[in-house]
Amino acid sequence: MPFSDYRTALVTGASSGIGLAVVERLAREGLQVHALARSADPLKALADRTGCIPHAVDVRDLPALTKLAGSVEFDVLVNCAGVDRPKKFLQADAEDIELLLGVNLGAVLHLCRLVVPGMVARDRGHVVNITSIAGAYNFGGNSTYHATKAAVSMLSRQLRIDAFGKRVRITEICPGRVETDIFAHVHGDSAATRAAFIDGFELPKPEDIADTIAFAIAAPVAVNIGHIEITPTLQVPGGLSTVRPEHPASPPAVT
């Protein structure tokens, strides 16, 4: 279904990174874009530049989400908001778990619950969920993040089943490392953070992800692009590690 068949879009995590780039890209296609994020000042600047409608709202604020979804018929929903608190699960704390569950998973579930039934009723709509290669591959120190992204990946597949028979399309965008400020949010905005995650690497930019989303949305109505994994050419997910035990296991006792 080309962009001409869609009129409105809701993008979360819109004040920076991929979410901001998606707002800019969809606005260029002529959609009325509602941009949702906590940071009011960046949203205002984005609205001045693109004509989007800003909503300075925490994505965990269910009453605010419910009110917004009840006031606008959204043809496109792009769930970009995300957060991480990297640490081994053995050191996880309750606050971090609740934060990641609320932002990365709860908000996506609730927005899909609030928006997708209307798409089904109108026989028109497109949901784009930004997950991560962390939802499919394991790497250290992000256990809760892995769990929430894997859940959204499964939700994306399940929504296709639940909306079966209607022209409601679901796309999961699964990025690897992208040149965004999420690393500064997680690890601190410093030269050391940039050196560790950005500088010297050849990385996709937020605009590349936004262009990929636009490609999926612009496909003909008969085409559902369900899953796209986007990684740097010089990044490989996965791997295999084997460790020698510090203390060899004792043989079983003979009785």
Name the residues annotated as catalytic.
Answer: 145
Name the residue among 23, 101, 96 with its Cα closest to residue 60: 101
Q: Are 230 and 204 in contact (CB under 8 A)?
A: yes
- How far is 30 from 230, CA to CA, in rounded Å? 26
Backbone angles phi, psi at 87, to 5 degrees: -170, 155
Which residue in the block uniquely carries the two structure tokens 């990385």?
A: 203
- How far is 46 from 114, CA to CA, in rounded Å? 25
Q: Are 77 and 22 in contact (CB under 8 A)?
A: no
For residue 56 the two structure tokens come to 């300075």
What end-to-end distance do the CA atoms of the chain give, in Å?
A: 72
Q: How many CB atoms lie within 10 A of CB 190?
A: 11
